[in-house]
Amino acid sequence: MKNIAIIAYEDCWAVSVFLAKDFFTIVSLLDSHYSLPQSYEVEIITADGSAITSSSNSLVIADNSLSDKAYDLVIIPPIEGSKLKNMPLGTDLIIDWLKPKIHSSSSILSLSTGSYFLAATGQLNKMVIATHWSLVKPLSKLFPDCQFISHKSYLRTGNIYTTGSFEAGISVLLGIVAKDKGDRFSQQCATHLLISDSNKLNLILPQFNNHRDEKINEIQDWINNHSSGLITIHELAKQFNFSERNLKRRFSQATGISINKYVQEVRIDKAKKQLLATDKTVNEISVDVGYENSSFFSRLFKKSTGLTPAKWRKND
């Protein structure tokens, strides 16, 4: 079983604290449903173990204080942006506690402006760090040796994950669970996030988003939202002001795969979620995700997963 710490502190955003806590509660419920041993133990920790007041004046109760306990994953929620100039009491204790973990076996996930704490350790100089778009400049002024960028997804450098949006935090957590417990289990988690439309569930494609090309990230977002329609390199190049040759080169350089292959990966990922979250037929799902020919879709799906869509759906 892996140990996870969520650091809560004065004026942090409670929604992110409980997002992480609730996410791993879903994991535990699925573990129980499938008669699996519990995968994670999650604690909310504060500098001294006392409750804190969040940016919305909500009280967050701590399970523990900063200690020598080893954690496999440490999650740092964001702080309300206006507080960056006057960080709350306990900030220095958190920073000192994080320092030895930067270059350890622990993974650290910074949610949006939680990146302040990582940068303040002084150990991420020259690293590119994702954060909220509106606070790139203020954070850059505070920590000129770090390279802050706006990123709709997330970045991973070694054991450090940084995010630029709320959705990216969910994507990281799904990616971590996929790494620990497999893609299918992670897809099950995604379908339990209380989102009624399976097409709006976060894609679990972390291996293609860990790059710093914001223009390509923008194109990926567009593909993610329009993947069921006809997507041509010619139209993409025209829409995003690229030559076709330069677009193909830059896309594959950033993501490691071609545009057509990425579209296929997005469609297969969306199909997995529909297979788990709906009772639609394979033919219906094939059309929904962008393949009029369901036999062709089934061949692609089996090539990707090793199973036909029908067998993958039943493979509990």
- In this structure, is residue 35 part of a structural domain? yes
Residues 141 and 253 in one domain: no
* Whether pLDDT at 195 is above 80: no
Residues 8 and 154 both lie in one domain = yes
Q: For the chain, what percent of residues have pLDDT higher than 90? A: 66
**How confident is the model at residue 197, as a pLDDT?**
47
Residue type, 183: D
Q: Are residues 57 and 156 in the same domain?
A: yes
Contact 41, 194 (CB under 8 A): no
Q: Is the pLDDT of residue 39 over 70?
A: yes
Judgement on whether residues 122 and 256 belong to the same structural domain of the protein: no
> Which domain, by its residues, includes 52?
2-163
Assess whether 15 and 158 both reside in one domain: yes
Whole-angstrom distance, CA of residue 54 vs CA of residue 56: 5
Contacts 24+ apart (CB under 8 A), 65-71: 66/93, 66/94, 66/97, 69/3, 69/5, 70/3, 70/106, 71/3, 71/4, 71/5, 71/101, 71/106
List pLDDT tens digits, range 52-103: 999 999 999 999 999 999 999 999 999 988 888 889 889 999 999 999 999 8
CATH of the domain at 296: 1.10.10.60
- 221 shares a domain with 72: no
Same domain, 244 and 155: no
Predicted model pTM = 0.77
For the chain, give the mean pLDDT: 90
Which one of 104-118, 143-157, 301-315 scores highest in mean pLDDT?
104-118
Domain holding 43: CATH number? 3.40.50.880
Same domain, 291 and 159: no
DSSP SS3 for 107: strand
Residues 229 and 101 in one domain: no
Question: Residue 196's pLDDT is what?
Answer: 44
For residues 145 and 54, membership in a common domain is answered with yes
Give the chain's domain count: 2
Q: Give the C-alpha separation, 109 to 113, whole Å.
A: 11
In a domain, 89, yes or no: yes
The number of CA neighbours under 13 Å toward the Cβ of 153 is 28
Query: At which of 105, 133, 163 does a domain end?
Result: 163
How does pLDDT run across 217-265, given as a tens digit for each residue? 889 989 988 999 999 999 999 999 999 999 999 999 999 999 999 999 9
Q: Which carries the bigger pLDDT value, residue 131 or residue 205?
A: 131
Closest CA to 291 of 311, 307, 274, 279: 274
37 with 134, same domain?
A: yes
Same domain, 149 and 229: no
